[in-house]
Structure 1
Amino acid sequence: MFLKEMKTPINAMKEKLGITASIVLYNEDLNELTNTVNCFLNISLTKTLFLIDNTPDKKFKNIFKQREIKYIAVGENIGFGCGHNIILKELENFSSYHLILNPDVFFHQNVIPNLILELEKNKEVAMIAPKVRFPNGQHQFSCRRYPSVKELFTRRFPFLKPIFKTTIYNGQYREKDLSKPFYAEYLAGCFQLYKTSDFVKLKGFDERYFLYMEDVDICRKIDFLGKKKMYFPDEQIVHVLKQGSLKNINLFFRHISSAVKYFLKWGF
């Protein structure tokens, strides 16, 4: 039902693409989104970008008209994971790689091809992600250990960070040399590059999470698939990172709700 806005059905395209990507849209900055879209379209691979519009009024319809873009109007805010999952059933025979991408991420055109080369070197790796920086160049701790209750609680209440500094540092792998690749427990959902076949086997994101924690959850699912996630800092991207749950009370409670679901599912 959600694919009716697409001009060409996915399964009508017989040639398997190099890569697909999906971006879920809601209250996005159009300039940032345009930059992100252009970054993806500039890569030298056969590609399709799915823009999944969760706005009730189809806010982003008719804005991007490039042939590599497929626009999907949902008509309601169904959340991050559910939005990305809309195209899940169609992906398996459509592309070799699939990128989960945030609408505020910028990168050089060689980043994705180089990550694919690294991904192909190790058949055990289902997903790979680059080093992430803020727009000011500061390092963003996007690869982490699975969170404890204490760590998540501390991160939501910044005044506690000086008290539980060790907990935060341990969760961020600060004892490691973050300039070298390694297998991480959790890689942030702003930029996750999958082998499409593995993303399909994982059945995408757990749709019980409306927003937050679904990226941690899918990393857990990769473990159960018997595969790994690679942090690859040889390649770098820029992520604006809104941190909405620190500024908006509704998003704060969304985060708390997702955290409760996560720990009930995976244990405390």
Structure 2
Amino acid sequence: MEDKLIITCSIVLFKENLTGLHNTINSFLQIPLPKKLYLIDNTSTKFFEYVFIDKDIEYVPIEQNIGFGSAHNRVINQKNLNSKYHLILNPDVSFKIGVISNLIKQLEKNEKLSMIAPKVLYPNGSYQNSCRRYPSVLELAFRRVKIFKKIVNHGIYNDKDLTQPFCPEYLTGCFHLYKTEDLVALKGFDERYFLYMEDVDICKKIDASGKQKLYHPKQEIVHVLKQGSSKSIKLFFIHLISAIKYFRKWGIS
């Protein structure tokens, strides 16, 4: 029987920069803990099947683009995860060797914590807004068209000291470190979202379970942040559809 893993991780792949993806994978593989990385390939051609080979990597071909949450759920709900912690990781994130171990220590301090996330930086070292209040329809709209900055700033906790840990309403989904048993109990992501808003939704599910999420800025990661829906009409409409589904499910605020 396989020894219990300390940490598992899943990364969903579609159209990725291979250099950046190598950095992401190497960041995880350097962790000095028993681990397994699931590379979930949403391409129809199984493009990534032989791109990354390692004893700690398991390749998961989907052969169609089923979206972010549904792809992660192929691991969360179908792989009988044999780990204490599971990391949801974007393919454009990198971090230093001690980050995971230090975040795990924080998770273990509080039995009510289900998930933790670190401070997020852009590649140039500037701060990236990754902890937020739950969005309202107006806040999402104002953020898109860049007006009514006071409302948008309230949504990104501009009124708080973001150098200190606290429990925000939601944490953006580029890096979520979960207690595996809690993530499995949540049944992963709501698959009604193809892309966007699934990270907000799962934070709502954590609230409903009576558990908490922690923002821990003492640890840092780097995230490229593609902002696809700001550059692509197709992705903008996917984002819009996801937002409609979110507000229909949780109500308009």
TM-score (norm 1): 0.92
Task: Return the letter of the residue paired with 2:144.
Answer: R
Partner of 1:83: 71
Partner of 1:136: 124
Partner of 1:37: 25
Task: Return the letter of the residue paired with 1:33.
Answer: L
Partner of 1:243: 227
Task: Return the letter of the residue paired with 1:260.
Answer: I
| Aligned-CA RMSD value | 0.9
Q: Please state if 1:22 is matched with 2:10.
A: yes
Partner of 1:262: 246
1: CA distance, partners of 2:74 / 2:223:
24
CA contact (8 A) 1:92 1:196 kept: no
Deviation at 1:81, TM superposition (A): 0.0
Q: Encode CA deviations 1:222-247: one digit per residue, 9 max, x unaligned.
A: 00010000000000000000000000
Q: Encode CA deviations 1:76-126: one digit per residue, 9 max, x unaligned.
A: 000000000001234555000000000000100100000000000000110
Identity fraction in percent: 60
What are the equivalent positions in structure 2 for 1:155-234 lying under 5 Å apart?
Answer: 155-157=143-145, 161=146, 163-234=147-218
Could you tell me which of 78, 84, 103 is aligned with 1:96?
Answer: 84
1: CA distance, partners of 2:33 / 2:172:
24
CA contact (8 A) 1:91 1:196 kept: no
2: CA distance, partners of 1:256 / 1:188:
17
Q: Encode CA deviations 1:181-238: one digit per residue, 9 max, x unaligned.
A: 0001000100000000000010000000000000000000000010000000000000
CA contact (8 A) 1:129 1:231 kept: yes
SS of the residue corresponding to residue 87 of structure 1 reads helix
Deviation at 1:73, TM superposition (A): 0.8
Task: Return the letter of the residue paired with 1:165.
Answer: K
Could you tell me which of 34, 38, 42 is aligned with 1:54?
Answer: 42
Q: Encode CA deviations 1:125-179: one digit per residue, 9 max, x unaligned.
A: 100000000001110010000001011112222xxx2x31011100000111100
What are the equivalent positions in structure 2 for 1:111-122 lying under 5 Å apart?
Answer: 111-122=99-110
2: CA distance, partners of 1:218 / 1:229:
11
2: CA distance, partners of 1:110 / 1:238:
14
2: CA distance, partners of 1:256 / 1:109:
37
Partner of 1:8: none
2: CA distance, partners of 1:108 / 1:224:
33
CA contact (8 A) 1:91 1:200 kept: no
Unaligned segments of structure 1, at least 5 residues: 1-12
Task: Return the letter of the residue paired with 1:193.
Answer: L
CA contact (8 A) 2:75 2:81 kept: no
Alpha-carbon distance change, 201 to 172 in structure 1, aligned in 2, over 3 angstroms = same
TM-score (norm 2): 0.98
Would you identify which runs of 4 or more consecutive aligned residues in structure 1 move more than 4 Å?
Answer: 90-93
Deviation at 1:260, TM superposition (A): 0.1
2: CA distance, partners of 1:165 / 1:245:
20
Q: Please state if 1:106 is matched with 2:94.
A: yes
Partner of 1:3: none
Partner of 1:4: none
CA contact (8 A) 1:92 1:197 kept: no
SS of the residue corresponding to residue 189 of structure 1 reads coil
1: CA distance, partners of 2:103 / 2:111:
14
1: CA distance, partners of 2:229 / 2:159:
27
Task: Return the letter of the residue paired with 2:170.
Answer: Y
